[in-house]
Amino acid sequence: MPEIREIPAGSTNLAVPALQSLRPHLDATRTINTIDELLRPAGYRLVGVFDDGQDPAAQAVAGFRVTYALVRGLHLVIDEMATMPAAQGRGYAGRLMDWLKQEGVRAGCAEIHLDSAVGPDRAAAHRLYHRHHLRISAHHFHCEL
């Protein structure tokens, strides 16, 4: 049975293959350093699904943080959710969503938030989010500087 566990600093490399499946442009060493040196001190955490007898890397990962905003109060933000291509369709992302909801409740959060890109390649992810009762509640705007 696959195990869900947090991925601590020093083991971030276990999350990189799944993160690169979502964001192929990421350099492994730079990603590990960014997560461990910049993101973790600001509250970023990683959780992964690990399959016994498989590659030691996580088959699916989520990067998240618990934060506070005037508009939302205390809430959990999912920054990354990625599953290795060979592990897709096994329910790992759904199990991560369940774990993240429980962690949000444990932390006293009122809500979970997640931004997701749009396009046909994101349809399966969007179905997952809807199945887990996340709803589209805002537009996300940005500009490059």
Return d(Cα 59, Cα 101) in angstroms, integer: 19
Could you report the per-residue pLDDT of 2-47, keeping only the tens digit for each?
899 999 999 999 999 999 999 999 999 999 999 999 999 999 999 9
In a domain, 127, yes or no: yes
The domain total for the chain is 1
In a domain, 141, yes or no: no
Distance, first Cα to last Cα, the chain: 46
In a domain, 70, yes or no: yes
pLDDT of residue 56: 81
CATH number at residue 110: 3.40.630.30
In a domain, 78, yes or no: yes
Return d(Cα 41, Cα 86) in angstroms, integer: 32
pTM of the model: 0.89
- Domain holding 88, by residue range, is 3-131
In a domain, 29, yes or no: yes
Could you report the per-residue pLDDT of 57-89, keeping only the tens digit for each?
899 999 999 999 999 999 999 999 999 999 999
